[in-house]
Structure 1
Amino acid sequence: MKEKLVVVALVNANKGSEDLLRQGLMTLVEAAPKEPGYVQYDLHESIDNPGQFLFYEIWEDEDALNVHNNTDAMKAFGAKAGQWIQSVTLTKYKRLH
């Protein structure tokens, strides 16, 4: 059985841009289930640090993630989000057990 690709993305908002970033990220959450290779795409916000967001994503494979990264929704988000984002850390994982 082919292992799925797990992605954890940590996104930190610029001060004062938390609401705009939250709204923008929600557009990605709404679009993801329609994408090929989608398995799971959950958005979380830190309780202790509002404006710090964590995505927990599962994709069928690397190709599905590449498709996701090139969708119209992701391109539209990227065109606006640069001014809202302080930093992004993206880490890919494989399941061990």
Structure 2
Amino acid sequence: MAEQSIHIEVAYAAVDEQALLGLRVPEGTTVAQAIEMSGIAQRFPGVNFSQCPVGIFARLLDSPDEHVLQSGDRIELYRPLLADPKEVRRLRAAKAAQVRKAR
């Protein structure tokens, strides 16, 4: 009997390049297995994808090794933030207050 396959996507956005790879994988494939199968590590050789947070449609996964994919899932590999968004907003607000005060 032929093995059934499902269609999934693997997405990653570097600072200067983005990749959205569509592929067919056997039913029962885990997220970690699909990341390996996608070849994304060869496309972005400087990234250690085993250390990246991973999600399915923006929902963070605790265990990519155990999460079994369903047809249509999009695996998202997240890169670390360069700056804390809350800190950036705080600094921007402080700068705006200084500008208002100087007027």
TM-score by length of 2: 0.28
Q: Which has the higher contact order (CA 8 A, sep 6+)?
A: 1
User: By percentage of residues, which structure has more strand?
Assistant: 1
TM-score by length of 1: 0.30
User: By percentage of residues, which structure has more helix?
Assistant: 1
